[in-house]
Amino acid sequence: MELSHELQRRLRGLVDSAPSDASSVFCVRRTAGGYKGLLKIRSKELRIVAGGSAATLEQVVDQIDGEVAERLTEWRRLRFS
Partner 1 sequence: MMPERRRERRDQNQATIPPVTGDHATDHATLVFVGDESEWSAPAWCDYSASYGKPDFTRLDGADLQGADLRAARLPLADFRAAAARACSLAGAELTFSDFSRADLRAADLSNTCLCLADLTEADLRGADASGSDLMKATLRGADLRGARLMGACLDDADLEEAVFDETTELPFDFERARARGMTFRPAAGLRQ
> Which H or E element spans position 58?
helix 57-79
Max CA pair span of the chain: 45
Angstrom distance (rounded) from CA 6 to CA 22: 21
Binding residue (CB under 8 A) for partner 1 from 27, 55, 56, 66: 27
**How many residues in the shown chain lie near partner 1 by CB under 8 A?**
32
CB 54 within 8 A of CB 38: no
Binding residue (CB under 8 A) for partner 1 from 5, 21, 33, 78: 21
The yes or no reply on residue 32 touching partner 1 (CB under 8 A) is no
Where do contacts with partner 1 occur on this chain (CB under 8 A)? Answer: 1-3, 8, 11-12, 15-18, 20-30, 36, 38, 40, 42, 47, 49-51, 53, 76, 80
